[in-house]
Each structure stands twice: as C-alpha cells, then as structure tokens.
C-alpha cells in the first residue's frame, strides 16, 4: 500500500535519453557539506540522486562540499558515509571532495582574471552590501572594478600568499551590477580565510565560494544532471555563466526540486546542531532527532525511509509533508517484517493456583502471524506470570475485553485464565490476582464452550528478563516549529522521552541483536538500542505506537 509519488526529474532524464542530449551515462552526485549530520531532507536527496543513477544504469558520486572549513569536521564526514550506506546506497568511485579541485579552481580564477572577467575588490562587507543594490534598485560598480589585469594578478597572488587580513579583500567575478538577478552582481568567488582545512591543512588561506566551486566541480567530474533544491534556482544563471566562461571539460546542467519539509520537526542542520549544543537531545543520533542516524536508532528502517521518499515524490512546488505519512511508511514496513514478541511494562502478578509449582512448559508461538519464514519462538509458561496492570479490573462492563474478576481471558499463544480473587496491600492496591487455568485450552476453545472475549499479552515471572524501555514522542509540540526566528526551541515537547525501567520481556528478547526490530504485541514497534542494549541489561526504544491514522 505504498504509493509512488511523481518524479519530474525521472521524466527529464527519460526525455534527455530520447532526444540524445544524454548520449552516455547519467551521472549525478550527492554533495553534502560536512557541517552536521544528515537529516530526513538529505534522505530525499540521496534517494533521488542515487535512485536515478540506479534506475538508468548510471553513476552517483559522493562529493563533500567542503569550501567552508571553519564549520566542517571529520566526524561529520564519517557519519555521512555511514548514513548513506545504511540507507542502502553506494557511491561510484572514490569519495570526492570539492577541496580536491582547489588547485584547478585557483587556475580557473586566474583564467577569469586574465580575461578581464574577475577583479580584486577592497570594499568592506558593509560597503559591498551598499553597492550591491536591492531587488528594485540596480547596484553600483565597485571603485576597484576597473583594475588592470596585471594589478589584479598581483593582488590575487598576494591574497593567496597571506599578505592581507581576512575580510580586507575578495576576488569577484565581473558580470553586471545592474543585473536584475542579484547573484549576477559581481559575486564573490574567493575570500580570505586564515583557517586550517580538514583536507588541505594549511595549504590555502583563500577559499573559493560555494557558487564558484559547485558547477566547476560538477564539470570536472562529468556530472550530467546536477540536482539541487529550489533556493538555488536564482543561482542557475551564475552556474551557467561560469561554465560558459571557463575552460571546463564538460557542460553539466542544474535542475532544482522542492526541499522536503515535514511537520512537527525541523530540517536544518543549523537548528539540529542547536538542539545538540544546548543538550535538548543527547546527541545527533538521539532517537528523537530527524537525522538519519537518529531515525535509525529509533528503529526506523532504511527500506521504510526509501519508501517514504518514493511516496513523497519529487516536484518543484514547496509543501509540507505530514509526519503521519512517514509514520505510516515505518509501520507498513515493520508490520510486514518485524517479529512479534511480548513485553509487560507495568506488571501485575498473576498466580495460577491450579498450575503445579515446579512445572514449566515451553509453548510454541509464531514469530509472525503471516511470515512462516520468521519461524517460531518458544515461550516458557509457569505458575506465576505478569500481565499489564491496566489489563485487569475487579469489575468492568462488556467493553473491557480483558481480565475481570470472575471472567475469562486468553493469554496470547497460551491458556485461558479465570480470575478468582485478588490480594491487596494495606493501602488497598492490588498486588496479585489469583486465577485458575484451563489445561485443555492451549490452541483450543475451552471445554465448556465459553470463549473468552479478549486476548492479552503476558510474560512468565520466573523466566522473563527485565528490560529498560524508552518511549519516544514527537520532539516538537508545534506543527511548524521553525516558522519565524529561533523560537523553535520554545516548541520542544517536554515529554518527548519517558524511560520505563523493570519491564518484563520474554527471555529470548534479551538475546536480540542491537538494532533488531520487534512488534511488542498490543503495544507498539520497538528496537533493541544500537548502542546500549546488551543481553545482561536489555534496552528497547519504542519506534512507534501501533495505531495508524494516516489516510483514515
Ligand atoms: P541544511 O540547511 O540542513 O544545512 P543544506 O542544503 O545546506 O541543508 P547540504 O549538506 O548542502 O545541506 O545538502 C546536501 C544536499 O542535500 C544538497 O543537494 C541539498 O539540496 C539537499 N538537501 C538538503 N536539505 C534538503 C531537504 N530538506 N530536502 C531535499 N533535499 C535537501
Ligand atoms: Mg548546502
Ligand atoms: Mg546548510
């Protein structure tokens, strides 16, 4: 029941093949800046770029867009690679870095200077802003715009040699200060930044801007379709101007699509970094984060995320996707693939008075109701079991299809119980329920013909293991937490995490591999925590509750 959304870029590639514009391989790239962990929006870009390459038998490169060394880190480079692979994709060839091309980009800058297409400008940032003009008002030429080629070459050389302070000079393309598109008003192509770079060390103290780097890197790698988000639409004329004015080896084309926005969350690395830096969450991979690493730890599966991206489709119109659609994709995948298990989170002890004290039976239960390939599991049954406290009442009306004093209920995959009496403590709290069981009712209706109305989950008190269960809820209470300024932090849900200790799980769950997913029957989907789960101290994260309301 996963429906594919439209993808206009697939149509463009098909047309390019049909018209012969694309005669060789389709080559795309995924170009993250290593300044944070990837989020759900990046998952869409990954599925799009790697997905198109796969569909058309082409290649997709991974290129770190690393022109801003001050904000970038090796730890992010490592995490990004792990996330892409986990999502199920592999890049073609080596990992590439925009910084691999710094020498060539420098030569390209010299080429522009020599052709009179770039100049060194001494305006301060504030002055440059004034000269730039506005959307309704043309800009003014910089007083440095008419420097001679020789003077520009000498100044640019001095910039490169570290002779000037940061911010004192920039290299600008000489295009048109009256262009209606502000991106064409002599954009900066190099700035002085006296910082070490994670790849190139201290080799450079001038760094190319994103705009000067991106298209040329695409051309150097033979990218045929350079796909980016809509905010770069206005940069496309500049992208094309550089390609037209430089001796590049290929002619890539830029295409834009709408970013993925999901309600109840934020998709901006800068904001996600604030959540980490201000300890609102326990790190980039906190299971509440919309990062790929966080969603993975939460128990979202790679297949579900790929399906979700497919359902969303690729369009040019901005919109906000309902998080319920993402949750639907997760449930759909887990319902089909997650083995069933039982966990009691708020235990109430049941004593089965007619069950022998020393007896233990191992009852077979299906791993999954309609997946024989998931095999069977073996459940120990004994005189004492735990059920959920909320599954018992001394008195109740017919709507309560669980255990009631004097009535019957079936324990899932086991026997029918009849509740006979309760034991209370001094304060009047029920501490035990005494029941009898019908020994002939395993896998069969009770002999008296009265079928119990309900089926509840349970765990043997003598064999169950104790576990910590973490229940996660949405991180934000507001539908659009990041509309406006920084107040998105005010919308953080104070109850996004509840930790429940001493839950009882069926014993085999303790041996679950980290990252194994289960449906805890009647409760929700859970995953053994990637980092903290051990057989001695099991830890499960709730991926998502059972109830699906999307499309209902
Ligand atoms: P952020 O604002 O979160 O830092 P970004 O676009 O600056 O995002 P990059 O590392 O430059 O992050 O992104 C790598 C690729 O992922 C780019 O091609 C970018 O367009 C794409 N991308 C980023 N966010 C989204 C999104 N929300 N939806 C779709 N694609 C996205
Ligand atoms: Mg970017
Ligand atoms: Mg960014």
498, HSE (Cβ side, Cα atoms, 13 Å)? 5
Provide CATH 3.40.50.620 ranges for the chain: 8-262
Task: Point out the residues that are catalytic.
Answer: 33, 259, 269
Q: Tell me the pLDDT band of 446, cut-offs 50, 70 and 90.
A: confident
32 lines ligand 1 (CB under 6 A): yes
pLDDT at 484 over 80: no
Q: Tell me the pLDDT band of 550, cut-offs 50, 70 and 90.
A: low
Q: If you measure from the C-alpha of residue 402 to the centroid of ligand 1, how many angstroms do you get, rounded to a whole number?
A: 49
Q: If you measure from the C-alpha of residue 35 to the centroid of ligand 2, how many angstroms do you get, rounded to a whole number?
A: 9
- Mean pLDDT, the chain, whole residue set: 96
Residue whose C-alpha is closest to residue 198's, from 91, 95, 49, 84: 95
Provide CATH 2.40.240.10 ranges for the chain: 269-337+467-505+512-545, 347-460
Residue owning the nearest CA to atom 16 of ligand 1: 42
Q: Residues 406-424: pLDDT tens digits?
A: 999 999 999 999 999 999 9
Q: Tell me the pLDDT band of 2, cut-offs 50, 70 and 90.
A: low
Count of other CB atoms within 10 angstroms of residue 534:
12
Token output for 32 = 């993250």
pLDDT, residue 551, reads: 58
Residue owning the nearest CA to atom 18 of ligand 1: 228
Measured from the Cα of 231, ligand 1's closest atom is 20
Residue owning the nearest CA to atom 4 of ligand 1: 269
Q: If you measure from the C-alpha of residue 91 to the centroid of ligand 1, how many angstroms do you get, rounded to a whole number?
A: 18
Measured from the Cα of 260, ligand 1's closest atom is 28
pLDDT at 535 over 70: yes
- Tell me which ligand sits closest to the C-alpha of residue 268: 1
Average pLDDT rounded to a whole number, residues 463-485: 91
Q: Tell me the pLDDT band of 449, cut-offs 50, 70 and 90.
A: confident
**CATH topology classification for 269-337+467-505+512-545:** Ribosomal Protein L25; Chain P (2.40.240)
Q: If you measure from the C-alpha of residue 261 to the centroid of ligand 3, how many angstroms do you get, rounded to a whole number?
A: 15
Residue whose C-alpha is closest to residue 395's, from 430, 363, 441, 365: 430
Average pLDDT rounded to a whole number, residues 7-20: 97
Measured from the Cα of 259, ligand 1's closest atom is 28
Q: If you measure from the C-alpha of residue 241 to the centroid of ligand 2, how many angstroms do you get, rounded to a whole number?
A: 20
Distances (CA, A) of 515 to 43, 70, 329, 335, 486: 19, 34, 18, 16, 34
268 lines ligand 1 (CB under 6 A): yes
CA–CA separation, 223 and 255 (whole Å):
12
pLDDT at 132 over 70: yes
Q: Residues 230-239: pLDDT tens digits?
A: 999 999 999 9
Q: Tell me the pLDDT band of 45, cut-offs 50, 70 and 90.
A: very high
Measured from the Cα of 270, ligand 1's closest atom is 4
DSSP bridge pairs for 352 = 435
Average pLDDT rounded to a whole number, residues 109-135: 97
CA–CA separation, 106 and 169 (whole Å):
16
* Percent of the chain predicted with pLDDT > 90: 95
Q: If you measure from the C-alpha of residue 268 to the centroid of ligand 1, how many angstroms do you get, rounded to a whole number?
A: 8
- What crossing angle do the helices spanning 323-337 and 302-312 adopt, rounded to 10°? 140
The CATH class given to the 347-460 domain equals mainly beta
383 lines ligand 1 (CB under 6 A): no
228 lines ligand 1 (CB under 6 A): yes
Q: If you measure from the C-alpha of residue 229 to the centroid of ligand 1, how many angstroms do you get, rounded to a whole number?
A: 7
pLDDT at 485 over 70: no
229 lines ligand 1 (CB under 6 A): yes
- Tell me which ligand sits closest to the C-alpha of residue 45: 1
110, HSE (Cβ side, Cα atoms, 13 Å)? 11
CA–CA separation, 252 and 249 (whole Å):
10
CA–CA separation, 437 and 470 (whole Å):
33
44 lines ligand 1 (CB under 6 A): yes
Instruction: Judge contact between 452 and 408, C-beta under 8 A.
Output: yes
Buried b (16+ CB within 10 A) or exposed e, 108-138: bbbebbeeebbbbbebeeeebeebbbeeeee
Quick one: DSSP state of residue 24?
A: S
Average pLDDT rounded to a whole number, residues 302-316: 97
**CATH topology classification for 8-262:** Rossmann fold (3.40.50)
Beta strands, E only, 204-291: 206-208, 225-229, 253-257, 261-262
Instruction: Judge contact between 302 and 43, C-beta under 8 A.
Output: no
Q: Residues 386-406: pLDDT tens digits?
A: 999 999 999 999 999 999 999
The contacts of residue 50 (CB under 8 Å, 6+ apart) are 28, 30, 60, 84, 89, 91
pLDDT at 482 over 90: no
Q: Tell me the pLDDT band of 5, cut-offs 50, 70 and 90.
A: confident
- Tell me which ligand sits closest to the C-alpha of residue 41: 1
Residue owning the nearest CA to atom 25 of ligand 1: 41
Measured from the Cα of 46, ligand 1's closest atom is 16
Average pLDDT rounded to a whole number, residues 520-546: 97
Average pLDDT rounded to a whole number, residues 12-17: 97
33 lines ligand 1 (CB under 6 A): yes
pLDDT at 266 over 80: yes
């Amino acid at each position: 029941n996963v429906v594919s959304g439209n993808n206009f870029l697939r149509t463009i590639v098909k047309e390019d093949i049909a018209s012969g514009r694309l005669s060789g391989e389709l080559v795309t790239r995924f170009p993250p800046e290593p300044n944070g962990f990837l989020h759900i929006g990046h998952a869409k870009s990954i599925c799009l770029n790697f997905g198109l390459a796969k569909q058309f038998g082409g290649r997709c490169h991974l290129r770190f867009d690393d022109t801003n060394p001050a904000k970038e880190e090796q730890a992010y480079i490592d995490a990004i690679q792990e996330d892409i692979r986990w999502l199920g994709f592999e890049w073609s060839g080596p990992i590439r870095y925009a910084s691999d091309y710094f020498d060539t980009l420098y030569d390209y800058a010299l080429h522009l200077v020599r052709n009179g297409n770039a100049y060194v400008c001494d305006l301060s940032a504030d002055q440059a802003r004034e000269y730039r003009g506005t959307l309704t008002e043309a800009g003014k030429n910089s007083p440095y715009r008419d420097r001679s080629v020789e003077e520009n070459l000498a100044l640019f050389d001095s910039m490169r040699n570290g002779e000037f302070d940061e911010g004192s000079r920039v290299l600008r393309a000489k295009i048109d200060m009256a262009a209606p598109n502000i991106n064409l008003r002599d954009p900066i192509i190099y700035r002085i930044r006296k910082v070490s770079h994670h790849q190139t060390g201290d080799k450079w103290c001038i760094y190319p801007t994103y705009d000067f780097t991106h298209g040329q890197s695409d051309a150097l790698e033979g990218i045929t379709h350079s796909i980016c988000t809509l905010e770069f639409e206005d940069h496309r004329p500049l992208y094309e101007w550089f390609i037209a004015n430089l001796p590049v080896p290929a002619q890539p084309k830029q295409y834009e699509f709408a970013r993925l926005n999901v309600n109840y969350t934020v998709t901006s690395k800068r904001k996600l970094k604030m959540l980490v830096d201000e300890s609102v969450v326990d790190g980039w991979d906190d299971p509440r984060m919309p990062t790929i690493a966080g969603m993975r730890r939460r128990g979202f599966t790679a297949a579900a995320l790929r399906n979700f991206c497919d359902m969303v489709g690729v369009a040019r119109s901005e919109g906000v996707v309902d998080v319920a659609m993402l949750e639907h994709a997760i449930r759909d995948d887990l319902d089909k693939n997650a083995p069933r298990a039982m966990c009691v989170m708020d235990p109430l002890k049941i004593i089965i008075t007619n069950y022998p004290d020393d007896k233990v039976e191992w009852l077979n239960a299906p791993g999954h109701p309609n997946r024989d390939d998931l095999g069977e599991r073996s459940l120990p049954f004994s005189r004492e079991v735990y059920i959920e406290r909320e599954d018992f009442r001394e008195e109740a009306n017919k709507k309560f299809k669980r255990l009631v004093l004097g009535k019957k209920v079936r324990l899932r995959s086991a026997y029918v119980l009849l509740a006979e009496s309760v034991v209370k403590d001094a304060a009047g709290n029920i501490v035990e329920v005494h029941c009898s069981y019908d020994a002939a009712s395993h896998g069969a209706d009770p002999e008296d013909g009265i079928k119990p109305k309900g089926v509840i989950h349970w765990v043997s008190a003598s064999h169950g293991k104790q576990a910590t269960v973490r229940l996660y809820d949405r991180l934000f209470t507001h539908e659009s937490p990041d509309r406006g300024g920084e107040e998105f932090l005010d919308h953080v849900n104070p109850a996004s995490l509840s930790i429940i200790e001493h839950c009882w799980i069926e014993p085999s769950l303790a041996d679950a591999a980290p990252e194994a997913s289960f449906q805890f029957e009647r409760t929700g989907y859970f995953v053994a925590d990637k980092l903290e789960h051990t057989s001695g101290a099991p830890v499960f994260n709730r991926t998502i509750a059972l109830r699906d309301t999307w499309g209902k």
